[in-house]
A and B are shown apart, each in its own frame.
Chain A
């Protein structure tokens, strides 16, 4: 879903297409997810063994144990690896576009560089994303729990990103939303907003919890620390430069009306 919103700008008819894609994505994704999960639930080996799987990757372990054949398991795993590759391509594209769009609005340090395009492609933003990833990868050598924190902060940050506009919209009594071309009506909309806010708040707390208690230094979930740290850094940058500059979402000029 995050990807739909990140790529919204490149749609043909975003006012209609984006909300429609978003509303289909959830039920369809759920059904497909069930088809993936159920066979695993029905055939999986004992949980204690899964928890000891190499690299903490349960899936390869489950598949090789359940199938009982190396060749078969490798074939299935290669298929899954390709799914992951596609996924990596998509997410990197989305992250690059997101970086590029945000730097176009002068919201990043050195925005001038990241907002450039080469032959219509946001190459610098893409390079920035790749370099940041590779630098964060180094953290794993130092401390794996710190690295896990960086990895898991993504869910928290995305949820928080959803939280702000939904809350704003509800706060201002959905004035802007009600003008949109694609709506579900004021009552359902408000209910959906309220549920979303409660759920996200709950999720934020949940994802900040350690997965197992009692907590030790290494099993502690440091995602909340990273999240607050990043937020503080962006706040500092805002006061240094963002406030003076014009943060006028570039898209305004495209007169798109989402939601």
Chain B
């Protein structure tokens, strides 16, 4: 990213400073998105346990420990399984697809809370909870939507895992958003 900034500026005096700034933005973004994904993962685990035991809630300390366990586990996977990463990526892409289909079938076939009409599902904007006006809520929704779609499917790049990495970005955003929205 910062390299692009460096290149695109051509032969100008500002290129160094600008590429430095871009690099830092990029770095901070990556660090904090990684943080948000891992922490979102921890809260998802806790929330899954709560499905079985509605009475149990994780304390902040327990949540933090789950988060630490995830961090260390991911560290080990990335550190030791470096060569496996392309395969992990391929597995992730297939698994994503399977999961989308599973969610689709599971939700559509059970629908215990009733099914909504197409007009509700597609055009109902709930504005009453956030306090923002209608227009602004629309944009908040839109940003969430833009943040979401990236997760699942991306082309299988021939030589690299790169394109598959796309998926995480969206989840990070989603979880970040969810946590804020609550």
Contacts and interface: CB of A to CB of B under 8 A. Distances in A.
A259 to B, nearest CB: 7
Nearest to B154: A25
A81 to B, nearest CB: 6
A25 B29 contact: no
Contacts of B182: 51, 53, 55-58
B132 A35 contact: no
Which size class do B's interface residues fall under? Answer: 35 or more
A185 interface: no
At the interface, is chain B mostly helix, strand, loop or mixed? helix
B10 A175 contact: yes
Given A31-B153, A58-B178, A58-B182, 18 more contacts: A6-B165, A25-B150, A31-B149, A35-B104, A39-B108, A56-B178, A64-B51, A83-B167, A84-B41, A89-B78, A137-B71, A151-B176, A157-B28, A158-B29, A160-B29, A165-B1, A165-B4, A247-B20
A177 interface: yes
Interface string B101-118: 011101110111111101
25 contacts: A32-B153, A33-B145, A33-B152, A57-B43, A80-B103, A88-B38, A91-B34, A93-B85, A94-B165, A95-B33, A105-B2, A107-B20, A130-B71, A130-B74, A130-B75, A134-B68, A141-B60, A152-B177, A154-B31, A165-B22, A211-B140, A231-B25, A242-B20, A249-B2, A258-B7
Interface of B: 1-10, 12, 16-41, 43-48, 50-52, 57-58, 60-61, 63-64, 67-68, 70-72, 74-75, 77-79, 82, 85, 88-89, 91-92, 95-100, 102-104, 106-108, 110-116, 118, 121-122, 126, 129-132, 136, 139-140, 143, 145, 147-155, 157-173, 175-182
B62 to A, nearest CB: 11
Given A12-B158, A43-B115, A258-B4, A151 B48 contact: no
